Chains A and B, each alone.
Chain A
């Protein structure tokens, strides 16, 4: 069975500092996609960044970047120059593309608080 594990229930970081959120996953598939979603207090789920497993290059989106280690099945999110607006729940998610059905598996989330 495919699983996604986020081992840090809560984290905090000072404004302008860098923080890394961890995510590990387990799958037997070779082709898949990984995502980080942000859920601010408004509850809206917002896509932060996406990584295709076949790409060796780590994805980046402005202040957000990932460290994708396929062999270790690790997918961490680095937030640089943290801002107060980054305060949110962050969910790691996985979808396999070879199983024939497209069901997403979400981690339990990491609550990030950015301190002024």
Chain B
């Protein structure tokens, strides 16, 4: 198992540009999450998904969009990038049927908007 993979690892965007952060998990987990981590801070939930076709907003969804067409993939779309979106983005997944609720994290994407 590769676990949770994210691409790209690093990206620099200009203000107003758009991009998609990719996230894939091969563990057949039902729940997937996107977090952002600002310097020296904890994780803030952007969006999450309970399964294919079902997504919901987290704590800081403005400026982002998600989709979940398959169990494996959960891309995060940034439209009209702003400097406030400079952060490290983590994708995570869990299987709520396992009753252990451990989250598995991807390696993160460091995004800089200038």
Please give the residue numbers on chain A whose beta carbons come within 8 Å of chain B beta carbons, in ascending order: 33, 35, 42-45, 47, 50, 91, 93, 95, 97, 101-104, 106-109, 111
Query: What CA separation (Å) do A101 and B50 show in the bound complex?
Result: 8
Q: A103-B48, A109-B41 are known contacts. Are A44 and B58 too (CB-CB below 8 A)?
A: no
B90 at the interface (CB under 8 A from A): yes
The 8 Å CB contact of A101, one of B41, B56, B88, B90, is B56
The 8 Å CB contact of B101, one of A45, A95, A106, is A95
B102 at the interface (CB under 8 A from A): yes
Please give the residue numbers on chain B whose beta carbons come within 8 Å of chain A beta carbons, in ascending order: 31, 33, 35, 40-43, 45, 48, 50, 56, 58, 88, 90, 92, 94, 96, 100-103, 105, 107-108
The 8 Å CB contact of B100, one of A50, A104, A108, is A50
Chain A: minimal CB distance from B12 (Å): 17
Residues in A with CB closer than 8 Å to B41 are 108-109
Q: Is the interface of B mostly helix, strand, loop or mixed?
A: strand
Chain A: minimal CB distance from B110 (Å): 8
Query: Quick check: A43 and B42 within 8 Å, CB to CB?
Result: no
Query: What CA separation (Å) do A30 and B47 show in the bound complex?
Result: 25
Chain B: minimal CB distance from A73 (Å): 18
Query: Quick check: B42 and A104 within 8 Å, CB to CB?
Result: no
Chain B: minimal CB distance from A21 (Å): 14
